[in-house]
Amino acid sequence: MEYMFRREPKEVPKVNTKNRKICTKIPVPESLEIIERSIKYEPWSMNNQLYAVWDKAIDYQVFDKWGNVWIDFSSGIFVTNSGHGNEDMVEALRKMIDKPLLNSYYYYLEERSLLSEQLVKMTPKNLDMAFLLTTGSETTECALKLCRIRGMKKSPRKVVMLSFLGAFHGKTLGAQTMAGKPSSWEWIGTKDPNIYHLPCPTNAFESMDQIYDEECGRKVFNEHIEKMKADGIDFDTIAGAILEPYQGWAALFYPIGYIKALREFLTVHDALFVSDEVQAGFGRTGKMFGYEYYGIDVDIICCGKAVSGALPLSAVLANHEILDVDGSLNSTHGGSPLPVASALANLKYLEQENLVEKAKQKEKIVREKFNELKERFPDRVVSIHGFGLAFAAVVCKPNSNELDVELVDRVIERAFEKGLMSIRTMTGTIKIGPPLTIPNDALIEGMDIIIESMEEVVNESN
């Protein structure tokens, strides 16, 4: 049974620091009317989050109407890398609204041409075009299609797509089939036999050091190759492979040697490497794109979330020869004026403020604090994974490898009562992803709230 956050308002200790404020019962009694309305009219899956009703969000802080202020460790789920309500973005939006130009589908738009140019400039040289869409799922769906259309031009059987168990690529049909949990594809009825899931080569319960042992990574890849062979996959039918630079649930990076070997294998078999950067892209990991950690080239980059920094916009980046294999690449809201205007301002801000580098610098603080958490709770926190400002602690029941989903839910609920908004992964991981603009003192304060909340919740459960 899933843990239910307490909906009954409770008196909690008052908090008032430079970065956060809690001055009411939590949840706020007056907010319940809004929450109940949502629960009545929207699916439950939209409603099993912490009971906060957002009124405004600025930089790294979220405000409600009743005077409470939270430090945001979620970036609206990895969207607002340049900070909430970024002024440059607001200004760009205002200009577009004041014209007004709210829709332009199919016709040329100066800002769209500039955004595509800017995206290409921020991307390695082998990728020279950007195709704009609306959601992350559409980009992974598009990548699947591009790999297959290109493959089929070479041989009608070249349609196999490789992906990983444990991975996530979105909620549409192809994206769900590529995702690495059986529950993602069971609803489809028949599983696409041309999507093959490789096992995840990283052990979530072990330290992150495992990713650096290059020889071991290559060895695991060879074992997976043997398994593929045994499962009857003809390597020349492989059209492409898709992977997230890290698996989202635990910020789980892959062994570097494994990914290098995969790249070499795909090149030998004339198949494409797709990096799903929907969550990892645009500085989140302390690199512009997460795949850079593996020292490889990729053929297609899927971008969503932080590419726009707020509004719905996503992009597929690739070489023109790959993008031009499909003559139907357009979509009604892809490249719509408002998302385009804010995305352009967002990317410029990211560059001007060196946010990618700043995320790498702040990594040190987060790593130290997560290590402190692990030292304090050695029987519960089994491993820490992450780079930049994408980090997670894997939390288990005492001295076991059984993920403690409920304990983590209780910890993030407690942290919320203290003024920290974090991410509910529902997989037994304490995961953080603050805006890259967060000041160091707020980052430290937020991490200390996690440690304090863990302390309280563990003591209560003993």
Q: How far is the CB of 4 from ligand PLP (least distance, A)?
A: 23
Residue 137 in contact with ligand PLP, rule: CB under 6 A: yes
Q: What is the dihedral of CA 143, 145, 151, 154, to 10 degrees?
A: -130
Question: Which one, 135 or 453, has the nearer CB to ligand PLP?
Answer: 135
User: Among 20, 84, 148, 169, which residue sits at the site for ligand PLP (rule: CB under 6 A)?
Assistant: 169
136 binds ligand PLP, rule: CB under 6 A: yes
Q: Three-state SS for 283?
A: coil
Cβ neighbors of 93 (< 8 A, separation 6 or more) are: 311, 338, 341, 342
Residue of 170, 201, 286, 334 interacting with ligand PLP (CB under 6 A): 170
Work out how close the CB of 388 gets to ligand PLP at its nearest, in angstroms, rounded to a whole number: 15
* Residue 276 interacts with ligand PLP (CB under 6 A): yes or no: yes
Binding residue count for ligand PLP, defined by CB under 6 A: 13
Instruction: Kindly tell me which residue out of 255, 283, 304, 334 binds ligand PLP, with binding defined by CB under 6 A.
Output: 304
* SS3 assignment, position 214: helix
**Beta-carbon contacts of residue 315 (< 8 Å; ≥ 6 apart):** 119, 130, 131, 132, 133, 139, 303, 304, 307
Cα(357)–Cα(389) distance, integer angstroms:
11
The CA-atom distances, in angstroms, between 208 and each of 5, 24, 246, 371 are 31, 40, 12, 12
| The one segment of 57-65, 163-171, 211-219, 417-425 that binds ligand PLP by CB under 6 A | 163-171
Asked whether position 433 contacts ligand PLP by CB under 6 A, the answer is: no
The DSSP call for residue 5 is: P
Nearest residue relative to ligand PLP (C-beta): 136
> Which is closer to ligand PLP, CB of 142 or CB of 256?
142
Give min distance, CB of 134 to ligand PLP, in A: 8
Give the range of 133-141, 149-157, 254-262, 389-397 binding ligand PLP by CB under 6 A.
Answer: 133-141
Q: Residue 125 carries which DSSP code?
A: T
* Six token digits for residue 161: 């797509």
244 binds ligand PLP (CB under 6 A): yes
Q: Does 278 bind ligand PLP (CB under 6 A)?
A: yes
Find the shortest distance in angstroms from Cβ 248 to ligand PLP. Answer: 5
Among 140, 194, 275, 342, binds ligand PLP (CB under 6 A): 140
306 binds ligand PLP (CB under 6 A): no
* 284/358 with CB nearer ligand PLP: 284
Nearest approach, Cβ of residue 280 and ligand PLP (Å): 7
3-state secondary structure at position 420:
strand
Considering only 168, 265, 282, 370, the residue that binds ligand PLP (CB under 6 A) is 168
Closest by alpha carbon to 204, among 169, 242, 253? 253
* Closest listed residue to residue 170, CA positions, set 199, 132, 205, 142: 142
Helix (H, G, I), strand (E, B) or coil at 396: strand
What's the rounded Cα separation, in Å, for the pair 48 and 70? 19
Least separation in angstroms between residue 439's CB and ligand PLP is 26
Closest contact distance (angstroms) between CB of 146 and ligand PLP is: 16
Q: Which stretch binds ligand PLP (CB under 6 A): 17-25, 91-99, 164-172, 328-336?
A: 164-172
| Cα-trace Rg, the chain | 22
Cα–Cα nearest to 317, from 147, 82, 106, 116? 116
Helix-strand-coil percent breakdown of the chain, rounded to 5? 45, 15, 40
Question: Which residues bind to ligand PLP, rule: CB under 6 A?
Answer: 135-137, 140, 168-170, 244, 248, 276, 278-279, 304
